[in-house]
Chains A and B, each alone.
Chain A
């Protein structure tokens, strides 16, 4: 079976934080940190760049709003030009609620499905679950995983690096797929 990557366990969030800074400085790009609770400043220690999600939300929200406005303009001006309560065909204030709602809908769908997409969810399993120790990531243990797909990955050097930055236990995880 191919190797998925290296998994290192840490005892405290402070150990994890320091280790993340070292892994970041070593130049790894395809790796992650796992903690039962959010650790303040960990994104900075891991060198994570800003998510692209806000841009997805902005584009879909503006797109939704534009769609809503265009749809109503088309309906009232060319498809079904009816006089409603004495207003002109292009009664833009009346279009605003639906424009707003479709903008919100676009933004909300963009946020939810953009988040799923960027996190590569949903998925049925993850190779890290092959490790018996990893189950405690949601209880009382802290982990760093470095993928074998990382260009800098080398099973000897990477495990040595992880052992050297304060890990209490380091293992190689295999990919069952």
Chain B
């Protein structure tokens, strides 16, 4: 047979980054970029603290969505006993291992609450009947308390899976797989609820009168598709650098491409459902969200999202050839990551710049700050264990996986 792989074909040394490899500099480079970005952001903050708060929020949400997408992927992987993706699971674990970092990166959001969330002032004044009704949910102590609870849940689940999976590298204990699987169902429920409420708190309440019951799903759809884009890029780059041994091949790329395609469609399905019901219902406090995004240059961004986050990737990822072609797959994945950034910018920024798109130096500086620290932690975690869960009892199934 063409790709017959013996049971112990993959040794830990083949997929471990060797000491002194150029890769071990990446955590330092990431940390340096993050620190520089943070310093520049704080300097610029003196001039425009409101812009800082909004820019930081977009950057924070962008990288957080990758980590949450990774957490969901790992959980669903165990819940469904997926075989194909075991070779890429460790990379997802390293991505979700950044979740404790985001608790720290959330501090500027908490400090900038007064600038981000208009409900704080309007409820204090007490003139707004609708917001007074929402006050039991939208108030500072409860808001901060919820954020603490979200990060506690995410960190606890993520670190438990990261640790147990690494323990299995050495012991090859099958019981670990079984216990992680048993725990995955309840953990998915916790994750689904916490990330939906987080999206409501951190994005939807920027415009506190507006509400959309599908919003949590919209956030999840964007988060999941951008995580797959990030995972694909990680796999392709590490393989190119020769660090993944022969663990991943075109069969795995093909599956990653299929998931990118599927969740691009899912994002569009949810995004259109949200637009469609609001357009059809035509109730002012609901339509205001899209009205804000269909005026000035925001209209072009809305059209760009429809074309760039759905139509173009839909046809691009459709052919099998592209899903199995590393370079083309990398192009598509990078494009989707870019579009996810546009999506988050489009969700958050019209609250600050209703007149139109206003990209500035703070957007770049905060993106480099959060992104630098994110990359530093992901790459640092990669140095700490083999890049493939070599102790997984079903690893051989993943290594010899083939699409029919």
Contact = CB atoms under 8 A, between A and B. Distances in A.
Contacts of A151: none
Contact of A94 (B3, B280, B402): B280
A44 B272 contact: no
Contacts of A143: none
Contact of B276 (A41, A58, A93): A93
24 contacts: A14-B1, A17-B1, A38-B404, A40-B1, A40-B2, A40-B400, A40-B402, A41-B1, A41-B3, A41-B402, A44-B2, A54-B320, A58-B318, A85-B280, A86-B282, A93-B272, A93-B275, A93-B276, A93-B279, A94-B276, A94-B280, A96-B272, A96-B276, A97-B276
A85 B282 CA distance: 9
A96 B272 CA distance: 9
Interface in B273-296: 275-276, 279-280, 282
Contacts of A58: 318
Contacts of A97: 276
In order of increasing CB-CB distance, the 3 nearest A-B pairs are A41-B2, A41-B1, A93-B276
A102 to B, nearest CB: 16
B198 to A, nearest CB: 29
Given A14-B1, A50-B320, 4 more contacts: A17-B1, A41-B3, A44-B2, A58-B318
Contacts of A44: 2
A86 B276 CA distance: 15
Interface in A1-24: 14, 17
A40 to B, nearest CB: 5
Contacts of A38: 404
Interface of A, helix, strand, loop or mixed by DSSP? helix
A166 to B, nearest CB: 16
Interface string B194-230: 0000000000000000000000000000000000000
Contacts of A86: 282
A79 to B, nearest CB: 22
A45 B3 CA distance: 12
B142 to A, nearest CB: 36
A87 B282 CA distance: 10
B1 A93 contact: no
A59 B402 CA distance: 27
A21 B402 CA distance: 19
A65 to B, nearest CB: 12
Contacts of A14: 1
Interface string A52-80: 00100010000000000000000000000
A39 B280 CA distance: 52
A104 to B, nearest CB: 11
A17 B4 CA distance: 13
Contacts of B272: 93, 96
Interface string B360-404: 000000000000000000000000000000000000000010101
A38 B275 CA distance: 45
Contacts of A40: 1-3, 400, 402
Contacts of B400: 40
B139 to A, nearest CB: 36
A94 B279 CA distance: 9
Contacts of B318: 58
Interface string A134-163: 000000000000000000000000000000
Contacts of A96: 272, 276
Interface in B246-297: 272, 275-276, 279-280, 282
A33 B237 CA distance: 39
Contacts of B282: 85-86
A85 B272 CA distance: 20
Interface in B115-138: none
Contacts of B1: 14, 17, 39-41
Given A38-B404, A40-B402, A41-B402, A93 B2 contact: no
A70 B40 CA distance: 54
B397 to A, nearest CB: 12
Given A38-B404, A40-B402, A41-B402, A93 B3 contact: no
A93 B280 contact: yes
A66 to B, nearest CB: 15
Contacts of B3: 40-41
A116 to B, nearest CB: 19
A38 B404 CA distance: 9
A45 B276 CA distance: 50
Q: Which of A17, A38, A40, A94 has the most CB of B within 10 A?
A: A40
B322 to A, nearest CB: 13
Nearest to B321: A50
A15 to B, nearest CB: 12
